[in-house]
Amino acid sequence: MSVANNKDVIICEGVKKWFGDFQALKGVNATVKEQEVVVVIGPSGSGKSTFIRCINRLEAHQEGTIIVDGIELTNDVRNIDKIRSEVGMVFQQFNLFPHLTILDNIALAPLWVRKQPRGEVEEEAMALLERVGIPEQADKFPGQLSGGQQQRVAIARALAMKPKIMLFDEPTSALDPEMIKEVLDVMKELARSGMTMIVVTHEMGFAREVADRVLFFDYGLVVEEGTPDHFFENPQHDRTKLFLSQIL
């Protein structure tokens, strides 16, 4: 499976971002190709979450350019709406809507954003629940599910919009160890199906097994990048070596 010749779907050039006086991103350059799975790792506070949140403009970057699927991210609301409906996102804290049933959580966006008929939407939602392995929970509320199940619902919810790109922001960090596997399995299946994915994670096993490329973030910069083999076996940068020695 090679993606080297696919076209670029995400291009970031010199992306800078400040929170007040604190500079979170100091000029990030990165590209992601179609069907590529990119894993982003790095110590906490290194800017990796800020980076992927800039890609669907949950955070607005202040300098540099981000181009997603040929559309440049600017303050233009129409561009943002278009990109957001093509980029799905899964959060660390699941962020399911607690007042809606599981089925309604998944059906919400297709109904209101894509304006699809309800019957069709519910059928697709059930199919997605089958895919993540919990069709029997459709009529329950998020509060009644375990963390792992909630995160799988969150993935299904993001997939319901039929996105071209999926962003994962530490999807397993808030889970108990025994639930991590069920979520990772869903993500692996998704990667095999050819989805373009950017995954911020601390799961090195997942990175080795699934990733096409690994980005290492620190100090708001991409310090090093490479294929998993290259990256884990033969890191170039001192900072990367130190990080890997601490985490592995």
Partner 1 sequence: MVLLFFKILGGEASKNFARSDISFGFGWLGDPPGFSIREGIDLQPNSGIRALAVGGLNTLRVAFSGIVAATLLGTVIGVARLSKNFIVSKLASFYIETIRNVPLLLQMFFWQVLLQSRSSLTEESVGTKLFDVSNKGIASTWVFPSTGFWPWLLIMIGGYYLARKVARTRRKYQEDTGEDGHPGLFGFLTILGVAIVGWFVHPLLSFLSILWDGIGNLIGAVPAASVSLLIAGLAVAVAAIWIKRFLDTKRTPAGLGKLTDDDIFRMIFAGVSALVIVWIAFKVGGAIINKPDGTDASVAAVLRDGLANIFYWFGDKFTGEAGSPLAISRPVVEVRGTGGFIQYGTTGILATVAFASVWIAVTLYTAAFIAEIIRGGILAVAKGQTEASQALGLRRSQYLRLIVLPQAFRIILPPLGNQYLNLAKNTSLGTALAFGEIVAVGSTLMNQTGQSLPIVLVWMAFYLTLSLSLSGVVNYYNRRMALVER
Partner 2 sequence: MTDHLAPLDLAELAPEKPPSGPVLWIKENLASTWISAVLSVLAIGFAAWGFRGAVLWLFAPDRRWDAVIANMKLLSVHSYPEAQLARVWLSVGIVFVLIAALLAWNRVGGKVAPRQLSKVLLTVGIALLAVGILMPPGAEKWETLGNRMLWLVGGVVLAGIGAVLTRLPDSRRKAETVPIMGVVGVALLGIITFLQTATMAFPIPGSPAPENAADRIFEATPIAKSTANPWTAIIVFAVLTFVVMSWFRSRTEGEGAGVRRLLVSLIVASFPIIVLAILRDPAINPETLQKFVVTGIIFAVAGAAAMYWFGAQEAGESRRAVASIVTLVAFIVLVFPGILPLPSSITPFTEPFLFRLLLLAFALFALAAPTFGGAGAALHRYVAGWVGTAVIITYAIILITTESTVDVPGNFFLGGLGLTFVLSITAITLSFPLGVLLALGRTSSMPLFRMMSTAYIELVRGVPLITWLIVAFVMLPVTLPEGIELSGVMRALIFMTLFSAAYLAENVRGGLQSIGKGQAEAAQALGLSTLQMTVFITLPQALRAVIPALVGQVIAIFKDTSLVTIVGLFDFLHIARSAINQQSQPYNFVGVFLEPLLFAAAVYWIFTFTVSRMSLRLEKKLGVGER
Q: Which two tokens stand for residue 227?
A: 């294929």
Q: Which residues bind partner 2 (CB under 8 A)?
A: 16, 18, 20-23, 26-27, 43, 62-63, 219, 221, 223, 237-239, 242, 246
Contacts of 110 (CB under 8 A, 6+ apart): 116, 121, 124, 125, 160, 161
Considering the complex, what minimum distance in angstroms separates the CB of residue 231 from partner 1?
Answer: 28
- Could you tell which of partner 1, partner 2, none binds residue 58, using a CB distance below 5 to 8 A set by kind? partner 1
Q: Among 129, 158, 175, 186, which residue interacts with partner 1 (rule: CB under 8 A)?
A: 158
Binding to partner 1 by residue 141, rule CB under 8 A? yes
The answer to whether 198 and 227 have CB atoms below 8 angstroms apart is: no
Q: How far is CA 145 from CA 52, 108, 151, in A?
A: 27, 19, 10
HSE of 182, CA atoms in CB hemisphere, 13 A? 18
First to last CA, the chain: 27
What type of residue sits at position 129? L
Among 62-70, 97-105, 196-204, 212-220, the segment contacting partner 1 (CB under 8 A): 97-105
Binding to partner 1 by residue 223, rule CB under 8 A? no
Binding site for partner 1 (CB under 8 A): 56, 58, 81, 84-85, 87-89, 91, 93, 95-99, 108-109, 112-113, 115-120, 140-141, 143-145, 154, 157-158, 161, 167
